[in-house]
Amino acid sequence: MRVTIDKLAKTYGFLWALRDLHLDLLPGECCALLGPNGAGKTTLLKLLGGLIAPSAGTIRFDGMDFSRSMPALRSRIGLLAPADHLYENLTARENLHFFTRLYNRVNPVSALDAALAQVGLDGRAGDYVANLSSGMKCRLSIAKWRLLQPELLLLDEPYGVLDGSGVDLLESFLKQQCTKGGIVIIASHHVSRVLNHCNRAVILSHGRLTFDEAKQRPWPSFDTAFSEFLPHGDS
Amino acid sequence: MTLLSQAFLMLWKDTLLELRRRDSLLTMFFFGILLLFVFNFAFDLEPDKITAMAPGLLWLAFLFTGTLGLAQLFQAERENHNLDALLLSPLDGGALFLAKATFNLILMVLVEIVVIPLFWILFNLRLWNLLPQVFLVTLLGTIGFCVLGTLMSALTLRARARELLLPLVLFPLMIPVILATIRCMEEVLRTGQFGDQVGWLRLLLGFDVIFLTAGVLIFDWVIES
């Protein structure tokens, strides 16, 4: 899948959340989406997920104009929001069963249990999501998207609730996604962590794209751009 | 996945959640019964007036209990941004509409199965043989209520005072259904037949079909907006 964003803009009333955004994302890319609060990161993720409609501009997947009215395209996009998008009064296994059926992925119970075991939730398959901690819910979300195999995976602040082994799990999953030719976009404030495994960084500020480069070491241009949007520094 | 299989999956999920939480059904059930007792204490009806009053009182009870159910209809989707999870998925809006309307219909029918006979007992109505016709009219009216109610419930989903807004939007639009069911029920209780009120029955059927079709077609747009 190739994602092409052209002159994308989104307004909320009179406020420009995003304006004149151009991006071209290629298969296998893992892109860090950075920027201060209110820069437009979550808005961009929502636009890419089809949760909101753009005010102007286009998003194309493999050359096809994207709109929410295309279920076939929607099944190729995933949004991992830690501790969200899960039904509290269904068990971990039932949540996986529900979403895999919804995405038309045939997965027997053994595959669901194996996915839970991979994220360290074996033994919690029959527990209600309401009884899981935030970190466990995030692990369950990882298991969910592992089974659903989206070609474009969007992540909104995935690190906040995960412990060390959870972060390792997530990073190995993201690596797998990119190796298979998927695109991963991670919006996060944990800059050093997200840059560890991303091969591209994009910085948004006040809804505009202010930086877009492939990763280098050393990376003076990134350091300059980064210090501009966060003068007090975020590691 | 077809529209119907998606709708069944959503219905399975909603039923499972309701069996575990039991908040909608129990609230509706007890509220419906409570209303009947209030009516019974408030109106000291003579036997000949009961048949004229019964349809209106019953429908008041159904409207209020049904509105309680509608207010809870998207509760699971409001938690954890699950509506976003559904919008992100390949789920057809029509399937979501069918599932939600059917789920609310099941809850209301379960309540009605208890409330109607209880009404007969409390108001000492002896027309037990007319219950099948009464249930038929009630079912048609309930389908109309659930179909339109699901649409309105989705429209007011993101509104701040949705519990207040929902009946304000829904009840005026329900007037044709209320009028038709009351007229048909009155006739059934009076004569034992639909008689010349068959036109109202057709109106009910037409209302159900039109709003069911419209709901399936426009629900994607409704839920997004």
pLDDT (average), residues A179-186: 94
ipTM value greater than 0.90: no
B101 near B93, Cβ under 8 Å? no
A119 near A168, Cβ under 8 Å? no
In angstroms, the separation between the Cα of residue B98 and the nearest Cα of chain A is: 15
As given in the structure block, the two tokens for residue A119 are 């994220």
Tell me which of B3, B88, B91, B221 to substitute to probe the interface with A (most A C-beta atoms closer than 10 Å): B88
Q: What is the pLDDT of residues A34-53, one digit of tens each?
A: 988 888 999 999 999 988 88
Is pTM beyond 0.95? Reply is no
A143 near A121, Cβ under 8 Å? yes
What percentage of chain A has pLDDT greater than the value 90?
59
Q: What share of chain A is helix, strand, coil (3-state, %, to 5)?
A: 35, 25, 35
Nearest residue on chain B to A89, judged by CA atoms?
B17
Contact criterion met (CB < 8 Å) for B84 and A84 = yes
- Number of other residues whose CB lies within 10 A of the CB of residue A217: 4
Residues of chain B with pLDDT under 50: none
- Dihedral Cα A159, A164, A167, A173, nearest 10 deg: -170
**So where are chain A's domains?**
3-229
| Range A107-114, long-range pairs (CB < 8 A, 24+ positions) | A107/A147, A111/A147, A112/A147
DSSP for residue A90: S
3-state secondary structure B99-165: HHHHHHHHHHHHHHHHHHHHHHHHCCCCCHHHHHHHHHHHHHHHHHHHHHHHHHHHHCCCCCCHHHH
Note the residue count of chain A. 235
As given in the structure block, the two tokens for residue A159 are 């690190």
In angstroms, the separation between the Cα of residue B179 and the nearest Cα of chain A is: 38
Distance of CA B17 to the CA centre of its chain: 19
Chain A residues contacting B via beta carbons under 8 Å: 49-51, 53, 68-69, 71-72, 74-75, 77-79, 81, 83-90, 94, 98-99, 101-104, 128
Q: What is the pLDDT of residue A68?
A: 59
Q: Closest to A75 (Cβ–Cβ): which among B9, B21, B90?
A: B90
Phi, psi of B21 (to 5 degrees): -90, -40
Tell me which of A52, A70, A79, A87 to substitute to probe the interface with B (most B C-beta atoms closer than 10 Å): A87
As given in the structure block, the two tokens for residue B73 are 């209809």
Q: What is the pLDDT of residue A69?
A: 61
**CB-side exposure of A208: number of CA atoms within 13 Å?**
3
Nearest residue on chain B to A144, judged by CA atoms?
B85
Note the residue count of chain B. 225
Tell me which architecture the domain covering A3-229 has in CATH: 3-Layer(aba) Sandwich (3.40)
A128 bridge partner residues: A91
| Cα–Cα distance, B193 to B110 (Å, whole number) | 25
CA distance readout (Å), A60 to A49, A57, B8, B195: 12, 10, 32, 60
Distance from the first to the final alpha carbon of chain A: 32
Q: Closest to B20 (Cβ–Cβ): which among A51, A79, A89?
A: A89
Contact criterion met (CB < 8 Å) for B82 and A69 = no
pLDDT (average), residues A169-191: 92
Listed in sequence order, the residues at least 6 apart from A210 whose beta carbon sits closer than 8 Å to its beta carbon are: A203, A204, A225, A228, A229
| Cα–Cα distance, A125 to A57 (Å, whole number) | 43
Q: What is the pLDDT of residue A153?
A: 95
Contact criterion met (CB < 8 Å) for A103 and B82 = no
In angstroms, the separation between the Cα of residue B115 and the nearest Cα of chain A is: 29
Q: Closest to A98 (Cβ–Cβ): which among B13, B21, B84?
A: B13
Q: What is the pLDDT of residue A235?
A: 44
Contact criterion met (CB < 8 Å) for A102 and B91 = yes
Give the model's confidence band at A85: pLDDT under 50 very low, under 70 low, under 90 confident, else very high: very high
Q: Closest to A49 (Cβ–Cβ): which among B76, B82, B88?
A: B88
Q: What is the pLDDT of residues A118-174, one digit of tens each?
A: 999 988 999 999 999 999 999 999 999 999 999 999 999 888 888 888 899 999 999
Give the model's confidence band at A223: pLDDT under 50 very low, under 70 low, under 90 confident, else very high: confident
Listed in sequence order, the residues at least 6 apart from A209 whose beta carbon sits closer than 8 Å to its beta carbon are: A20, A21, A22, A23, A202, A203
Contact criterion met (CB < 8 Å) for A89 and B81 = no
Q: Which residues on chain A are in Cβ contact (under 8 Å) with B220?
A: 68-69
Contact criterion met (CB < 8 Å) for B81 and A81 = yes
What 3-state class would DSSP assign to A58? strand
Contact criterion met (CB < 8 Å) for A87 and B13 = yes
Tell me which of A51, A93, A99 to substitute to probe the interface with B (most B C-beta atoms closer than 10 Å): A51
Q: Which residues on chain B are in Cβ contact (under 8 Å) with A69?
A: 220
As given in the structure block, the two tokens for residue A101 are 């059926």
Q: What is the pLDDT of residues B101-139, one digit of tens each?
A: 999 999 999 999 999 999 999 888 888 888 999 999 999
Contact criterion met (CB < 8 Å) for B6 and A98 = no
Q: Which residues on chain A are in Cβ contact (under 8 Å) with B224?
A: 53, 68
Nearest residue on chain A to B93, judged by CA atoms?
A69
Q: What is the pLDDT of residue A230?
A: 64
Q: What is the pLDDT of residue B158?
A: 81
